[in-house]
């Protein structure tokens, strides 16, 4: 079955994925002389860097999600379809989606990456990942429900397990989620649950490598660890999770922690798409591309951002899987595709590292810009400003700002709702 898409004489660029890369590319090609077909499994763009605030009841999903159709209301040449790509057929220049087949002139794969559980089946079943707003919401519901359950639990050991949260992965997400949970423990939860003894609540941050925030300098890693420990997070480095059965986390050969919540932010992996040669996929299932983001061996297939593996002299293991290269590559590719259309040569990509940052809690953040590193209150302000400006939509920016301001002043959020999905019942 063909997927129903308006006919046109324009060349068709099919973009798979509406994350940072896909959205930027589609925006730059809006109202150009291409037909852009943007395919995503959701009808909205998600702002990943703030998922942890959704998980910790600081923001609503809608504050960091933006409907794709609204973004492209004024771009007649951008067609949106809510679907997933199931296979690619380069010889026919066609992809198969969950809604039907679509032909393309140029295919851009920007599906990003998903959580990597490293093959641990029990962990998949019991841990909560953090790669979508739905997952973040589910973590929020789990934590709040565990507190409700702890209230009525009379067995002291079981109660302690309900109050224990283990966060796996010392990247920005792990640091941010454990820091925020520690602040909730300090400022918010005791007011909501005066019946509970909060000395029993423990938050662990478990990292397999030797330090947190491995993408930053050692000094920043140490600073982040110091902040977290100050907030009461138990930071465990060189500690690898071996298994989790929903009750107990096994770390290394000896350590066992009884915990009803395990947050998994320990790694990511791409997903191989049927129909593309297996040798195209390299480290972490990313697609090997040249400096023009062309998939190796293809002239009309591109990959962008997290899903693309491009090496440079300075980055022999590929670029970091963060927003900056995704956005930069998308901008350049939009220009390159327009240049191609005009018969001009394409320009190669080089990564311009604009810095990196992570926040731990109120007034606490670590920021590394190209020529300066700084920590604490100003780093925290910088973090907030950069993230606020990066959010799509003026209204979302206003709402996020009000929420942050409110939370900062009152030491309290008011989003602690356990909203269970509506399930049809028999009368």
- Interface contacts to a copy of itself, rule CB under 8 A: 3-4, 6, 42-44, 60-62, 65-67, 69-70, 73, 76, 79, 81-82, 99-100, 117, 119, 121, 124-125, 132-135, 137-138, 144, 148, 151-154, 191-195, 393, 395-396, 398-399, 402, 406, 412, 414-422, 424-427
Distance in Å, CB of 73 to a copy of itself, minimum? 5
DSSP-derived secondary structure for 326-377: HHHHHHHHHHHHHHHHTTPPP---------EEEEEETTEEEEEETTEEEESH
Given the complex with a copy of itself, which of 314 and 420 has the nearer CB atom?
420
3 state SS for 165-187: EEEECCCHHHHHHHHHHHHHHHH
Helix axes 377-390, 394-410, angle to 10 degrees: 150
Q: Considering beta carbons, is residue 91 or 427 the nearer one to a copy of itself?
A: 427
How many residues are listed for the chain in this entry?
427
Instruction: In angstroms, give the least distance from the CB of 61 to a copy of itself.
Output: 6
Contact by Cβ (8 Å): 304, 287: no
Q: 367 vs 391, which CB is nearer to a copy of itself?
A: 391
Q: How far is the CB of 120 from a copy of itself (least distance, A)?
A: 9
Compute the least distance from the CB of residue 369 to a copy of itself, in Å.
32
Q: Which is nearer to a copy of itself, 58 or 318 (CB)?
A: 58
Cβ 206 to a copy of itself, closest distance in Å? 20
Query: Whole-angstrom Cα distance, residue 234 to residue 252?
Result: 16
Shortest distance, position 247 Cβ to a copy of itself, whole Å:
16
DSSP 280-324: GEEGGGEEEB-TT-BBTT-SSEEE-GGGEE---SS-TT---SSHH
3-state secondary structure of 49: helix
Which residue's CB is nearer to a copy of itself, number 4 or number 210? 4
Strands 261-264, 164-168: pairing kind: parallel
Minimum CB distance to a copy of itself smaller for 4 or for 238: 4
* Residue 8 CB, nearest approach to a copy of itself (Å): 12
Beta bridge partners of 167: 205, 263
């Amino acid at each position: 079955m063909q997927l129903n898409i308006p006919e046109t004489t324009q060349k068709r660029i099919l973009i798979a994925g509406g994350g940072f890369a896909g959205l930027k590319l589609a925006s730059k090609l809006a109202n150009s002389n291409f037909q852009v077909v943007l395919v995503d499994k959701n009808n909205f763009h998600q702002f990943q860097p703030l998922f942890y605030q959704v998980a910790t009841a600081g923001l609503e999903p809608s504050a960091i999600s933006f409907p794709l159709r609204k973004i492209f209301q004024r771009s007649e040449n951008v067609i949106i379809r809510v679907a997933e790509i199931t296979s690619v057929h380069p010889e026919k220049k066609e992809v198969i989606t969950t809604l039907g087949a679509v032909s393309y002139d140029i295919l851009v794969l920007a599906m990003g990456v998903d959580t990597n559980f490293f093959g641990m089946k029990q962990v998949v079943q019991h841990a909560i990942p953090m790669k979508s707003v739905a997952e973040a919401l589910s973590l929020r519901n789990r934590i709040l429900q565990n507190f409700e359950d702890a209230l009525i639990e009379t067995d002291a050991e079981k109660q302690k397990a309900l109050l224990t949260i283990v966060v796996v992965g010392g990247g920005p997400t792990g640091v941010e989620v454990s820091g925020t949970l520690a602040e909730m423990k300090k400022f918010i939860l005791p007011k909501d649950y005066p019946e509970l003894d909060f000395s029993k609540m423990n938050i662990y941050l478990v990292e397999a490598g030797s330090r947190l925030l491995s993408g930053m300098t050692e000094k920043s890693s140490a600073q982040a660890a110091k902040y977290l420990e100050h907030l009461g997070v138990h930071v465990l480095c060189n500690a690898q999770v071996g298994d989790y059965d929903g009750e107990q986390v096994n770390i290394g050969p000896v350590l066992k922690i009884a915990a009803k919540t395990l947050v998994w932010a320990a790694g990511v992996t791409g997903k191989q798409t049927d129909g593309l040669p297996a040798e195209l996929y390299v480290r972490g299932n990313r697609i090997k591309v040249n400096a023009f983001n062309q998939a190796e061996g293809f002239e009309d297939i591109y990959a962008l951002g997290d899903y693309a593996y491009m090496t440079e002299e300075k980055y022999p293991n590929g670029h970091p899987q963060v927003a900056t290269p995704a956005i930069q590559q998308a901008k350049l590719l939009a220009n390159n595709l327009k240049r191609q259309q005009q018969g001009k040569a394409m320009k190669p990509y080089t990564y311009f590292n604009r810095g990196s940052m992570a926040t731990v809690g109120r007034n606490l953040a670590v920021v590394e810009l190209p020529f300066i590193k700084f920590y604490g209150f100003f780093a925290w302000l910088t973090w907030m400003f950069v993230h606020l400006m990066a959010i799509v939509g003026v209204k979302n920016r206003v709402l996020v700002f009000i929420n942050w301001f409110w939370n900062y002043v009152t030491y309290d959020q008011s989003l602690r709702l356990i909203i269970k999905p509506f399930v049809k019942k028999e009368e």
